[in-house]
Structure 1
């Protein structure tokens, strides 16, 4: 896997993935940036969110779960001292579907966290990572 990051100006940069995608990253104005894109450290959390969601959805599809939506909200704390690594990360999954098995959703999240999500496992070297979830059943929502 390869990526390329090209400095543009100030603290702005363009990241190009080996798969042919590009995005702008930037710093905050107080560090010389113009706030043109996410911070590089935010990208790490976005990557973790995408990685774990990919795993969870794949596991739930294999389990024949009728998932119609999945959102992962991630919050994190960083060290006060340099290097300002993540020290705590919490991932909250909101899984929507029909007749979802709570046991299967919990197991999918656990498998992603402990076995499959490379990003979570790498970040877990410096951070305590926790997870929780909520299920939203479309059939229950239609009645309400």
Structure 2
């Protein structure tokens, strides 16, 4: 079992040194005793999801020897109005830039990440409507 320790430094601000040695600051708005000195907890969930699936896709495409100029992930979310204000819908758009990109391989990499490899996606699956699409942009 891996331990994560968050230390309350002041108000609603928390600090964590991750098990991999990186610093994370979590905070919220002043109306909830925060100082707006770090990302909000729910924003970290989406950043983790994007990072997880993005790293999968980059790794899979490298193994497929697919070269592209850039990859951006746009993540569109909806949350419930009532507490707990959980994510109810998440749509990930994988935006690739490059010339003569093989759409079938780009889609396959995204599919493998979303359906097999991404632990963050698997964590949301079942409680959140998860969709994705792949686009090539100029």
Task: Map 1:128-139; keep pairs closer than 5 Å.
Answer: 128-136=129-137
- The alpha-carbon deviation at position 89 of structure 1 amounts to 0.5
Unpaired runs of at least 5, structure 2: none
Unpaired runs of at least 5, structure 1: none
2:52 equivalent to 1:51 = yes
Residue 48 of structure 1 contacts residue 120 of structure 1 at CA under 8 Å; is this kept in 2? yes
Show the counterpart of 1:5: 6
The DSSP-based 3-state class of the residue aligned with 1:66 is coil
Residue 12 of structure 1 contacts residue 33 of structure 1 at CA under 8 Å; is this kept in 2? yes
The DSSP-based 3-state class of the residue aligned with 1:33 is coil
Relative to total residues, which structure has the larger strand share, 1 or 2? 1
Residue 8 of structure 1 contacts residue 14 of structure 1 at CA under 8 Å; is this kept in 2? yes
Show the counterpart of 1:23: 24
Moved segments of 4+, more than 3 Å: none
Q: Report the TM-score when normalising by structure 1.
A: 0.89
- The alpha-carbon deviation at position 19 of structure 1 amounts to 0.6
Show the counterpart of 1:14: 15
Show the counterpart of 2:83: 82
| Number of aligned positions between the proteins | 137
